[in-house]
Amino acid sequence: MSSSDANRQPGTRNPQAGEPNPAPSETPQGEDVDFGAFVSSRVRASADKLKGGSPSSSRPTRTASTRQASAQPTVSMQPETEPPARPERGRGSRYWRDSAGATTTAGSAGGSGRGGDGRSGGPPPDEDPFDGREPNAFEGALATAQTWVRENGEGRPWFLPALIGGGIVVLIALIWLLSQLGGGGGGSNVTPTQTAEAVIGVPGSTSTVTVEAGVPTPTVPVVAAPTESVRSGGDNTRNNQSGTPAAQGAIWEQCSVSCLIRVNLPGDSPILASFGARPSFSAGTWSWIVAPPGTVSDIAAKTDQVTMVQPEAETLRLYAVQLPADVSSDDRVGEYGTIVDAVDNVRLIQTESAPGEVGPLADAGYIVTKLAPGPSYRTIPPNDRPKLASTDIGTLAPLISNDNIEQTIRDLQGMGSSDGSGIGSRYYSLVGNQMAADYLFQKLESYGLTVWYEDFITPDGLLLVNIVGELPAADSSKIYGVMAHMDTTAKNPGTSPGADDNATGVAASLEIARILSGYQLTYPLRVVFTNAEDSGLLGSDAWAKKAANDKTPIEGVFNIDSVGSTRQGDAIILNGDAKSSWMMDLMVRVNDAYGIGNAVWPNQDPKMNADDNYVRAQGFEAIMIARELFGQSPYHHTSDDTIDHVSIDQVTKTTAVVLLSLASLVQ
């Protein structure tokens, strides 16, 4: 981004687009903006959920016994299969003397020049001239000639001709040996021509070795690979006819840990699902997938059309651009990033910065979509989760992990930090914002949720994403949600850690998702991390409008925002309207019934503006949960909003009351 771009403020458009700066729109309720600034009427969604339709309800689940506090499972990134060793050449079981037609004993065999039986060069009668090893053809022929000369040369006038004959025998043997080394001719120990299948080793197959007539032909088993996965398609050497192993230069060998590939399979292909591959983006019959070498090998074995896009798994600055039907040139796309892949009407571009400034491209009719990060690999637990409906919800509160909450806050406050201080920024226009989005995507996915990005364009042309995850349930007629904004702001946007505002709300939401993922729900739970709340409540506006347009049956949303302060004791502030007052009443009853210890203050004040206002503006019932409002805390929206000023206990108590309230609704 140029220096002029870096100074651009929300609410301005790219001058190159030739559009005026839009004026901030009024908030739907009240005039004061307590949690954000303006909301532009130009904010809109640019693409549907991560290509592939509605979230699938058929995915791995977690059990309480398999949940880990916050650690990700360790996954080997080594190839799942190694190219098998080349089969060794077979050898006849009969000794060389037999195959050469000799009738001599060990005492008359040619040796190494040692005396033993009174004849020059002969070993002692009980010694093996080759120390127990089997001689090669040349040694055998030489020994035969020496034996013949020794036994027939003494005192015989034709000794010299015999010696010459022996030399001829040696010469013939040498020529034969050289012919074998050169790969021509027949004879013993011949390795058959290697095909790709023979080298790789098709399970259950064998290879034979041809030897001289009259000698048994041994069967040498080929080392069989566990699968055919090393046979890769695309631009590898699968069809190599030169006799070198097909795996040499295979596409999966280009992955050191993980890589990004393009495969000619739709995103919902059962082949991809069978290998646990989740596309980062898909369009038509094409899918772009981040995968380790073993998975790449497995996929490539099933289809010839696999292309290496990049040998690393980085998707932070990658965007998919779909060209309009009347456009064939890539010139305009190239203005917004480096084209790293192209097929049909799709171009993958890598932007100079993240989030990418692609608003003018979207305005021109190009569909721009952020690539999702690689999948979060995890151990798939058995599908034997207990039913939440048969569980005492009071037993859920002790499952909350203070360590998880603290680690999430620390991780988020350090996003985008480049100086090792652990203090970064998730400001909407900085790289830490997209880093946090990728982090939360993978966190939710690691808990077993179906996750996708919902993107939108800011007034200044940046493509931002909301992160949405869903726990499926038996009855999808009603959906309940928990929401928290993941962005930050400060006077100096580059140092905006946002520990309380709002890493605390995000951490609470993640714990709720983690715990409820261990149970079978009656109604789905949707977890939403909104973006650009501190820069105009943009993400919640985009998400709520899309949910309304999709007619998503949202029954109630709990918006958690800034819940780590102790400045007002145990007070927890709720805000909603008359329609959503039942949600506040529920939280009061749950807090009292289970002795959680919050001092709950319900309100119906339209001047308290937060993400939930825009959810209610679309007809959905929603409430806010906070401990300090904007303007009350000396740390919010400053570089001092760090974990040092956060009470983990207060975050835990907030998590408990929201968790049990939601559990009573989705069970």
- Domain definitions of the chain by residue range: 96-181, 389-666
Residue 147: the pLDDT is 57
Angle at CA 463, nearest 5°, toward 461 and 464?
125
Alpha-carbon gap, residue 639 to 417, rounded angstroms = 12
Residue (of 484, 620, 462) closest to 46 by Cα position: 462
How many Cβ atoms sit within 10 Å of the Cβ of residue 96? 20
At 226, which amino acid appears? P
Beta-carbon contacts of residue 442 (< 8 Å; ≥ 6 apart): 373, 374, 375, 376
Angle at CA 401, nearest 5°, toward 396 and 404?
135
Tell me which DSSP letter residue 210 carries: B
Residue (of 556, 501, 567) closest to 534 by Cα position: 501
Select, from the ranges 64-78, 203-217, 459-473, the one with the highest average predicted confidence (pLDDT). 459-473
Helices (H), 205-306: 270-274, 293-300
Please give the structure tokens belonging to residue 605: 């004040």
Contact 480, 523 (CB under 8 A): yes
Tell me which residue has tokens 């038509």. Answer: 284
At 607, which amino acid appears? K
Alpha-carbon gap, residue 506 to 560, rounded angstroms = 8
**What tens digit of pLDDT does each residue of 524-560 get?**
999 999 999 999 999 999 999 999 999 999 999 999 9
> What does the buried/exposed string (b/e) look like for 312-347 if buried means 16 or more CB atoms within 10 Å of the residue's CB?
ebbbbbbbbbbbeeeeeeeeebeebbeeebebebbb
Helix (H) or strand (E) holding 586: helix 581-593
Alpha-carbon gap, residue 394 to 663, rounded angstroms = 10
Residue 419: the pLDDT is 87
Tell me which DSSP letter residue 307 carries: E
Q: How far is CA 440 from CA 205, 309, 326, in A?
A: 47, 25, 37
Please give the structure tokens belonging to residue 448: 């077993």
Query: Comparing 419 with 665, which gets the higher pLDDT?
Result: 665
Residue 402: the pLDDT is 98
Residues 650, 656, 659, 664, Cα dihedral to 10° = -140
In this prediction, residue 635 has a pLDDT band, given cuts at 50, 70 and 90, of very high
- CA of residue 4 relative to chain centroid, distance: 35
**What tens digit of pLDDT does each residue of 503-512 get?**
999 999 999 9
Mean predicted confidence (pLDDT) in 498-523? 97
Alpha-carbon gap, residue 158 to 614, rounded angstroms = 115
Helix (H) or strand (E) holding 150: helix 137-153
Mean predicted confidence (pLDDT) in 351-360? 96
Alpha-carbon gap, residue 190 to 208, rounded angstroms = 10
**What tens digit of pLDDT does each residue of 39-60 get?**
333 333 333 433 333 333 333 3
Mean predicted confidence (pLDDT) in 14-38? 38
Mean predicted confidence (pLDDT) in 85-99? 32
User: Strand, coil or helix: what is 225?
Assistant: coil
Partner residues linked to 625 by β-bridges: 560, 574
Q: What is the mean pLDDT of the chain?
A: 74
Residue 406: the pLDDT is 98
Contact 372, 614 (CB under 8 A): no
Lowest mean pLDDT among 35-44, 139-148, 172-181: 35-44
CATH superfamily of 389-666: Zn peptidases (3.40.630.10)
Contact 404, 69 (CB under 8 A): yes
In this prediction, residue 630 has a pLDDT band, given cuts at 50, 70 and 90, of confident
Residue 308: the pLDDT is 94
Residue 472 reports pLDDT greater than 90: yes
Beta-carbon contacts of residue 420 (< 8 Å; ≥ 6 apart): none
Residue 150: the pLDDT is 55
Tell me which residue has tokens 């566990």. Answer: 226
